[in-house]
Amino acid sequence: MVSRTLSLARLGVTFPMLLGLPAIARRRLALQLFLVTSLTVTMTIATAAPPPSEKNPVTDEYHGVKVVDDYRWLEETGSPAVKAWTTAQNQYSRAWLDARPDRAGIEARLTALYAKDTPSHSGIVSRPGRLFALKFQPPKQQRLLVTLASADDLTSEKVVLDPNELEPKGQVAMDWYVPSPDGKLIAVCLSEHGSEEGTLHFYRTETGELLPDRIPRVQYPTGGGSAAWTPDNKAVFYTRYPHKGEKPEADLNFYQQIYFHQLGTSVADDTYSAGRDFPRIAEIHLETSDDARWLLATVANGDGGEYAHYVRETKKGAAWRQITRHEDLVKTITFSHDGAALYLRSVKDAPRGKILRFPITGSLREAVVIVPESEVVIEGLTPTAKSLFVADLIGGPSRIRQFGLDGKDERILQLPEASGVGGMIAVDGHLLFRLASFVAPAAWMRYDPVAGTMKKTALFNTSPVDLSDIEAVREFAISKDGTKVPVNILRRKGTKLDGSNPTLLYAYGGYGHSMRPGFNFEHRLWFDRGGIYVVANLRGGGEYGEAWHLAGNLTHKQNVFDDFAACAQHLITRGYTRPDKLAVEGGSNGGLLMGAFLTQNPALARAVVAHVGIYDMLRVELDPNGAFNVTEFGTVKDPAQFRALRAYSPFHNVTDGTKYPAVFFLAGETDGRVNPANSRKMTARLQAATASGRPVLVRLSSASGHGMGTALTERIAQKADVLAFLFDQLNMTGK
């Protein structure tokens, strides 16, 4: 083994010599020396010490509690010291990963599989005589915007916009799009480098011609963005963040408002419509009735699930009218097919959801319950001319119910067992929806409510791999407080429960987000080496309704971590695996889950993969998007919430000398949702603390953000790194 200290000594420099220098100079010199020496040390150095991370303590006090942060300097994004540290860590991780003998082969196989994958369509929107869709077509780096005459006629497909032609390396992505009411124009939000900082552009559908109008600052990762057209197809309402000079620098990614733009005019002449009285952390979504006469604004108070709704006519001079407040607990509102009424999904006194209806010109006081709460969770609703379709969740899997527009004459659609449903839209009186399962590729289905018939459209995927040898079984783990937690296990048929199976456990557990069944052909590489793949439906999600969500947020967040640990223990107790054959993975809020799991249960798994995670829970709200998370996680300003945050904050609960599992952190430098400083600080802290001798790696990508808009080649490279890491740590040999 070649040590890092010896490498410095070869240049006549030792760490004791560095101690006499000022802290900043010492840190910079050490990192610069590492950059030089790292070029000379190869990774037979798989066992070498990681690059040094200097401790420079900063002390904060919260409600009388002093908290020391040794790595605050790693928050200084863009500073020379942080750039040098990032380069050093990336080189160290790159050398370790590239030294895995099958790393290149894994990437080659993934690339080959994507080349064989059939195109997939998502985000379908209906307009008179045509459908719009986002088309993912490997090996193209980014999705295309296309039109079709119908979902049954692939020959009618036309490309309207190909971002890959705007930037061939895949660094321009579509955040979202909205066709005009007549379908002849499209408003498209484009951003670069996975940043989700979007500018609104306009295109002609038939020719793909780009119009001269440009509207900046319509989209940012904090509150997203949205737009909606007027009936004459000549103007849009849109979300707008403050421009420089309108607010202090710290507030430029807050205070989202609604503005109005007439095509062909200067953006400087756009007029304010609404939002000055919205919360600082408002997240606005705009949509219109089918005839574009009515405009609905859904205003979220951050990410915790609180909503208010406003409606107005789109005609000039019309006034906004607030129709719900946070305390009304209305989650979503949908226009009736004719725009004369509103359908509301509410959880007030009905945590699994109920559906109400009232006239568009009326008020919530007039609302009538037409679909009451039942044993299943109401997740979404789609009205057609004669029917109301309701998407339900049953702890994870989906079902669809059909009603009359008055909520009567219930009928349950026959779907395959353990299916996931998404993207329900009304098209010519029929229901179009996306259907998937853990073992079957997704397909867009068409249901005729009059005939009661269902068929697969031409928009379906075939898989480049065969998963006929895989079965999905559903079991339940028992959490610390006795709660039953669903565990979805994908395994080869005939798998022996002898504790020897490499197993990867994945979960999320937050924001009311539900983990539905879904297909991923990448899992074939895992199964081919004898692996088992598991998805857990933890509290904090929405699988069992609002109560399930609230049981895992704010001061109840520890329940999520207890649920996940219980799922890991369940897999061990049942004989699926054992701790040295178990790995866990999660991203974003699921990355926080990984950090809490490894600090609270360091002996329960061999390896941890955490994507774009949050680890310093005491400072996350200081970042722009972190402030939006206060309604989900809590704030250090509240004593009780501070105590809860401090108790589980991964960064603050790393203990020196603990034998931690192998850990691989992945983050994007352009991430506007989770500050990559979280991954930098957590890496430095774990590298200094662990006594296991297992690697603690970080991959900080300059070509990606939080994951949205990441180019295909970068996604494949990240996946290859993850699999190489896991195969190595779980000793998985094979194909």
Q: What is the pLDDT of residues 634-675, one digit of tens each?
A: 999 999 999 999 999 999 999 999 999 999 999 998 888 899
Please name every residue paired with 668 in a beta bridge, in sequence order, or none if there are none. Answer: 701
DSSP characters over 46-75: GGSPPPP-----EEEEETTEEEEETTGGGG
- Cβ-based neighbours of 17, under 8 Å, separated by 6 or more: none
Residues 244 and 216 grouped into a single domain:
yes
Pairing outcome for strands 696-701 and 662-668:
parallel
- Cβ-based neighbours of 506, under 8 Å, separated by 6 or more: 533, 534, 535, 536, 584, 585, 586, 590
Query: Nearest-CA neighbor of 515 among 395, 349, 372?
Result: 395
Query: What's residue 3's pLDDT?
Result: 30
The answer on pLDDT for 41 being more than 80 is no
The answer on pLDDT for 89 being more than 80 is yes
Structure tokens at 452: 């009661």
> How confident is the prediction for the chain on average, in pLDDT?
92
Can you tell me the distance from the alpha carbon of 312 to that of 295, in angstroms, rounded to the nearest whole number?
5
Last residue of a domain, one of 396, 427, 462: 462
In a domain, 71, yes or no: no
Last residue of a domain, one of 411, 438, 462: 462
Pairing outcome for strands 484-492 and 185-192:
unpaired
User: Which is more confident, 624 or 495?
Assistant: 495
Average pLDDT over residues 506-532: 96
The answer on pLDDT for 30 being more than 60 is no
Q: Comparing 22-36, 176-190, 246-260, 616-630, which segment has the lowest mean pLDDT?
A: 22-36
Residues 356 and 453 grouped into a single domain:
yes
Query: What's residue 393's pLDDT?
Result: 94
Helix (H) or strand (E) run with residue 383 in it = strand 377-383
In a domain, 386, yes or no: yes
Percent of the chain with pLDDT over 70: 93
Burial (CB count <10 Å: 0-12, 13-18, 19+), residue 678: buried
Q: Pick the catalytic residue: 201, 337, 652, 706?
A: 706
The answer on pLDDT for 345 being more than 60 is yes
| 309 annotated active-site | no
* pLDDT band for position 193 (cuts 50, 70, 90): confident
In a domain, 124, yes or no: no
Can you tell me the distance from the alpha carbon of 88 to that of 103, in angstroms, rounded to the nearest whole number?
21
Query: What's residue 348's pLDDT?
Result: 97
- Only one residue has tokens 């001079």, namely 317
Residues 355 and 314 grouped into a single domain:
no
Residues 569 and 664 grouped into a single domain:
yes
Percent of the chain with pLDDT over 90: 87
| 53 annotated active-site | no
Residues 587 and 532 grouped into a single domain:
yes
Per the structure, the count of domains in the chain is 4
* pLDDT band for position 47 (cuts 50, 70, 90): low
Structure tokens at 293: 């006469």
In a domain, 146, yes or no: no
In a domain, 212, yes or no: yes
Can you tell me the distance from the alpha carbon of 14 to that of 1, in angstroms, rounded to the nearest whole number?
18
Can you tell me the distance from the alpha carbon of 343 to that of 330, in angstroms, rounded to the nearest whole number?
10
Residue 314 gets the label, from left (phi > 0), alpha (psi -120 to 50) or beta, of alpha
Under DSSP, is residue 37 helix (H, G, I), strand (E, B) or coil?
A: helix
The answer on pLDDT for 271 being more than 60 is yes
Query: Nearest-CA neighbor of 618 among 663, 659, 590, 649?
Result: 649
Kindly list the strands in the beta sheet with 185-192, ordered across the sheet, starting from the edge strand earlier in the chain: 172-179, 185-192, 198-204, 210-219
Residues 431 and 480 grouped into a single domain:
no
pLDDT (tens digit per residue) in 586-640:
999 999 999 999 999 999 999 999 999 999 999 999 987 889 999 999 999 999 9
Q: Pick the catalytic residue: 226, 588, 701, 704?
A: 588
Last residue of a domain, one of 417, 447, 462: 462
Longest Cα–Cα distance in the chain = 85
In a domain, 86, yes or no: no
Structure tokens at 58: 């900063």
Under DSSP, is residue 206 helix (H, G, I), strand (E, B) or coil?
A: coil
Q: In the 8-state DSSP scheme, what is residue 553?
A: S
Query: Nearest-CA neighbor of 439 among 393, 397, 391, 502?
Result: 397
The answer on pLDDT for 1 being more than 70 is no
Pairing outcome for strands 227-229 and 235-240:
antiparallel
pLDDT (tens digit per residue) in 145-188:
999 999 999 999 999 999 989 988 888 989 999 999 999 999 99
* CATH classification at residue 301: 2.130.10.120
The answer on pLDDT for 44 being more than 60 is no
* CATH classification at residue 378: 2.120.10.30
Cα dihedral sign, 326-327-329-334:
negative
Range of the domain at 29: 4-61
Query: What's residue 25's pLDDT?
Result: 44
- Tell me the residue type at 10: R
Query: What's residue 282's pLDDT?
Result: 96
Residues 568 and 623 grouped into a single domain:
yes
Query: What's residue 735's pLDDT?
Result: 58
Query: Nearest-CA neighbor of 219 among 621, 614, 708, 633?
Result: 708
Average pLDDT over residues 283-311: 96
Can you tell me the distance from the alpha carbon of 355 to that of 691, in angstroms, rounded to the nearest whole number?
55
